[in-house]
Amino acid sequence: MKKITKIICIIFVFVFNSVMSQYQAPKIVTDVNQKQKQVSSIHQFIVFDINQKPFDFSKLKGKKVMIVNTASKCGYTYQYEELQQLYEKYKNKGFVIVGFPANNFRNQEPGTNAEIAEFCKLNYGVTFPMMEKISVKGDDMHPIYQYLTQKSKNGIEDSEVAWNFQKYLLNENGILEKVIAHKTSPLDDEIIQWIEK
C-alpha cells in the first residue's frame, strides 16, 4: 500500500510540474515582448551633438520631443525662429526640440557643423539642442531616422522625409505619435494642442 501511495505521489508531482511549466510559458513570452517594446523607443539612441559631444536620448525620458531636420539655405529656414519661440515657451513644461541638420535636399545645408552652429545662433538665437549634420534619407540614412521612418522599427507607421523641417513628435515614453509636414508651422494649433494635452 505504501508503495502504491509513493508511486501515486511521484506521478502527481510529475504531472503537476508539467502543467505548471506550461502555464509559465506565456509569462516568459510576455517578458520578451515587454523588452522589445522598451527597445522600440527613441530613448535607445545616443548621437553626437553639433559640438561632437554625446547626446543620450534616454535623458529625455518623461519629456515630449519634437525631432526636426533642418537646413540653413531653405525656403523654410525661417522656421528656426518659430522653433525657438516654441522651445522657449514649453522647455520648462516637459518639452524639447532636437534639430538634425541635413543636406539631403538640393544642397541646402552645405556647411560644416561649426558653420551651422554659428548660423543658428547668430541669425535665430537657437538654444534648443542641435545635433551633428546627418543624412535623413537614402542609403546613408542615419539610424535614428531609420527608426523614425520605418514601421518595422518604430512600431507605428512608415513615412518618408519629404523636405527640410519635417517634424516627428514623440511622447514621454519616446514613442512616435505624429509626423508633421515640413510646410506646417511649428506654432500650428495641432502641435500646440499635442504639447499641452
Active site residues: 74
Alpha carbons 35 and 33: distance in angstroms, whole number: 5
Q: What are phi and psi of 77, to 5 degrees?
A: -60, -25
Residue written as cell 510559458?
25
CA 163 centroid distance within chain: 19
- Sign of the C-alpha dihedral computed for residues 142, 172, 84 and 185 taken in this order: positive
- Give me the amino acid identity at 136: V
What is the spatial distance between Cα 166 and Cα 33, in angstroms, rounded to a whole number? 31
Query: Under DSSP, is residue 190 helix (H, G, I), strand (E, B) or coil?
Result: helix
Cell representation of residue 196: 499641452
Is the distance from CB of 64 to CB of 170 less than 8 angstroms? yes
Parallel/antiparallel/unpaired status of strands 167-170 and 46-48: unpaired
